[in-house]
A = this chain, B = another copy of it.
Amino acid sequence: MKVIESRTRVRYKETDQMGIAHHSNYVVWFEIGRTDLCRETGFSYRDIEKRGSLLVVVEIGCRYRTPFLYDDEVVIRTSVREVASRSMTFHYELVDSSGEIHATGFSKHLWLDRETRKPVKADAEVMRAFAPFLP
């Protein structure tokens, strides 16, 4: 299982009045990780959409252990957890620069045809590029 690391910093905008990064941002950070993992396969998600597919989110989950604070570096560790002909699940760990896990989560996706918005089988060429990332 290949893990892709992305890095971002907690923006002031992402803090809330508890003085920590608001929990909804974790879901957005997951998306950064997904984008970077796609890019690593050789098919950026931008290209995947241009080829006619959408990878829509059908489920997400996140467990929060330790908050991130403003300006903290967030390391997003993304991997592919499950693959089926029409769906795909990503797994995420959010760690700090010392490697301590702050949160874990997943997102489950379905392949849709971009025009009809109906579920379709994954683009075979794209899936070949994902092969080295599959569990």
Q: Assess whether A62 is interfacial by the CB under 8 Å rule.
A: yes
Residues of B within 8 A of A57 (CB): 23, 64
Shortest distance between the CB of A53 and any CB in chain B (Å): 11
Q: Are the CB atoms of B16 and A24 closer together than 8 Å?
A: no
Encode A56-76 as 1/0 by CB contact (under 8 A) with B. 111111111001011100000
Q: Assess whether A35 is interfacial by the CB under 8 Å rule.
A: yes
Q: Given A16-B16, A71-B46, decide whether A24 and B22 contact each other with a Cβ distance below 8 A.
A: no
Q: Given A27-B27, A46-B70, decide whether A32 and B17 contact each other with a Cβ distance below 8 A.
A: no
Q: Main SS of the interface on chain A?
A: mixed
Shortest distance between the CB of A95 and any CB in chain B (Å): 18
Shortest distance between the CB of A37 and any CB in chain B (Å): 13
Residues of B within 8 A of A16 (CB): 12-13, 15-17
Contact of A19 among B13, B17, B24 (CB under 8 A): B17
Q: Are the CB atoms of A12 and B45 closer together than 8 Å?
A: yes
Q: Are the CB atoms of B28 and A24 closer together than 8 Å?
A: yes
Q: Assess whether A54 is interfacial by the CB under 8 Å rule.
A: yes
Residues of B within 8 A of A31 (CB): 11-13, 24
